[in-house]
Structure 1
């Protein structure tokens, strides 16, 4: 059984940063041969690690610390006017948690989302193998949040269960329904689910101040950021 004391870590060679132009990035990975149970995964997450399939990683850039791990204290969260509007707009969406798995239905939604919204990203072009390796493989206590309207699948969010809350991994939705803000809705649902489980935190991955695509994370307050091994309230103003 692996533990924090016995884990071995590896760093990748420098490569082009996926988020900031003209910068290089280095990523630290947990040895893929390690057995990661939910307790260890929760400890790694509290230290700023994320999961992508069977890989557990965190940025390890020598000259840059722009990627900041963030989480939300759900018990102190109060939705703002826009978030309340999103909840009202999506009151007809049926949400169900199901074990993470592959289905052609899920994949078609994922592929359509990537092809329309992320042609400039690392996930383009999408493939079934990519979907499985990113969202299905390596799951410890991993689930898909199905979002359905009149029975039709319109959104899918990958969610991991931790000892102290939930971890929001990734969300896709039908681009034709962009006006519904289903990405925001998925986070709001996960906040309420975390509260129901009587757990304190929803982990939202990394926030980069200079990356406009990540600005939505700071709309969930009070957001906490990991600095020098300590979680502190994130000041964004």
Structure 2
């Protein structure tokens, strides 16, 4: 076991995983630093961990600890200063008139799972998350010891089109995962982030944490389009010149 560079709580320990294939940069190997034991990562500890660049997957709270690579950069959007650009504004008004959103506690729903499988099979085929495995889905998205909620988006006919999993923390929201109807017209992924930014503002929360931005990954490029944002460098949140 090893301690992180910043001491968070003396009761937590941190270990580095064995190397595994990177999900974002082909041909590279990755490692993660994991907070343990998982049952001691409560809401207060989790808020501090998120602020220091950690993320959550099921009961695992982790951050990248790769050998010789620092491509994964934590990114958070300033919800108080965020202004939608022209394209985002058009999308916002169109989707506001098309989709209704509701908040629900974390729960199993067969419709969610069916939508999740369709999304994975079309958007991330072969990534290992497209199997008809309810246990894997439950472990990944429905297992949490912190304040987690779901946003469900329906069209006027009542058909489920998108689900966002969000963690509420002391100073914002951490966007855990969003999946949506891959055949639906429009940019549902972008709208999901715009909606979460608006939700943060309605709750009076200053930050929306979008996980890791990777400049070399096309899958992650969209995150930097939400401005102003900050990135975590050397343990300090800074606003890049590109803002």
* Superposition TM-score, scaled by structure 1 size: 0.95
State the secondary structure of the residue aligned to 2:26. coil
Match of 1:88 among 72, 93, 96: 93
SS, match of residue 69 in structure 2: coil
Shift in Å, 1:223: 1.3
Matches for 1:14-163 after TM superposition, within 5 Å = 14-90=19-95, 91-150=97-156, 151-163=158-170
What 5-or-longer segments of structure 2 have no aligned partner?
Answer: 1-7
Task: State the partner residue of 2:236.
Answer: 230
Q: Structure 1 residues 22, 28: closer, same or farther in 2, change over 3 A?
A: same
Q: Which residue of 1 aligns with 2:9?
A: 4
* Contact preservation (8 Å) 2:38, 2:61: no
What are the superposed Cα offsets for residues 57-100 of structure 1, whole Å, 9 maximum, x if unpaired?
00001200000000001111000011111112212210001001
Q: Is it true that 1:167 corresponds to 2:174 in the alignment?
A: yes
Aligned to 2:4: none
**How many angstroms does 1:126 deviate by?**
4.5
* 8 Å CA contact retained: 1:89, 1:180: no
Counterpart contact for 1:71–1:224, Cα < 8 Å: yes
Q: Kindly tell me the number of residue pairs found equivalent between the two proteins.
A: 234
Q: CA deviation at 1:124?
A: 2.9
| 2-structure distance, mates of 1:33, 1:166 | 20
The unaligned stretches of length 5 or more in structure 1 are none
Q: Output the CA distance in 2 between the equivalents of 1:89 and 1:196.
A: 20
Deviations 1:136-191 (A, max 9, x none): 102411011000002111100001101001111111111111x3211111111111
Decide whether the 8 Å contact of 2:38 with 2:59 is kept in 1: no
4+ residue runs over 4 A deviation: none
User: Which shows bigger deviation, 152-161 or 85-94?
Assistant: 85-94
Aligned-residue CA RMSD (Å): 1.4
Per the alignment, residue 195 of structure 2 pairs with 189
* Of 132-141 and 61-70, the range deviating more from structure 2: 132-141
So what's the TM-score if we normalise by structure 2? 0.92
